[in-house]
Amino acid sequence: ARGSSFSPPSPCRTSRCCSLRLRLRATMVVVAEARSMRVAIQGSGVAAAACARRLRATHDVTVFESGRGPGGRMSTRRSDGYQWDHGAQYFSPKTDAFSVAVSEWVEQGWCDAWAGEHCVWSSEGGVSPDPKAAAAVRYVGTPGMNAICRGLLDGVEARYETRAVAMRRGGGGGADRGWVLEHAKSGSALGE
């Protein structure tokens, strides 16, 4: 425009490049303006821990776990100098996306490949090697299965031996009054 100090950006080689830059800027603005929320997650198994880890980047996350520590079905028990996993003994990734996640966990030292011998039992043949076992790579948490959940929850507020069972509307006025979580045993408020 005449008399204006506006100058158009220098032309790039392809319109695709400009389009990509504009979309990236728009995405950055949306992320920067994202409203942080308080998020409560019940349980600390792999799915809950992965969810908490992902959400903590932009939200205030609290995990409520009824057990004494993280893990859910991947819990590790300790007693008299021994430890054992009483949930999942191992796991095998079946998808590319899960394989990528497991590779990251291995790099973090939360799990490792397990080369244990797998057998089957039948009344006719007794115990014999499992013919299907060689096809799958099996992983275990290190030093216990709950190491994965513990690692995923690093930096996330977690309240153990606490079970949230009820939600009710908060006491504030207006549409923004939120929700209150209640403790399973005492009925006391766990937070708003």
Compute how many other C-beta atoms are within 10 angstroms of the C-beta atom of residue 27.
10
Q: Are 157 and 63 in contact (CB under 8 A)?
A: yes
Identify any residues that bridge with 38 across adjacent strands, giving them in sequence order: 60
Contact 75, 87 (CB under 8 A): yes
pLDDT digit of tens for each residue in the chain (192 aa)?
444 444 444 444 444 444 444 444 444 444 445 568 888 898 999 999 999 999 999 999 999 998 889 988 888 888 898 888 878 888 999 999 999 999 999 999 999 999 888 888 889 889 998 888 777 889 999 999 999 999 999 999 999 988 877 777 776 655 556 778 887 778 787 776
User: Which H or E run includes 143?
Assistant: none
pLDDT of residue 158: 94
pLDDT, residue 173, reads 56
Hey, is 139 helix, strand or coil? Answer: strand
SS percent in the chain: helix, strand, coil, step 5: 30, 30, 45
Are 74 and 153 in contact by the 8 Å Cβ rule? The answer is no
Check residue 92 and give its pLDDT. Answer: 92
* CA 134/CA 42 separation, integer angstroms: 37
* Distance of alpha carbon 27 from alpha carbon 159, whole angstroms: 34
Q: What is the pLDDT of residue 171?
A: 63
Q: What pLDDT does residue 49 have?
A: 95
Residue 83 pLDDT: 83
Residue 141's pLDDT is what? 94
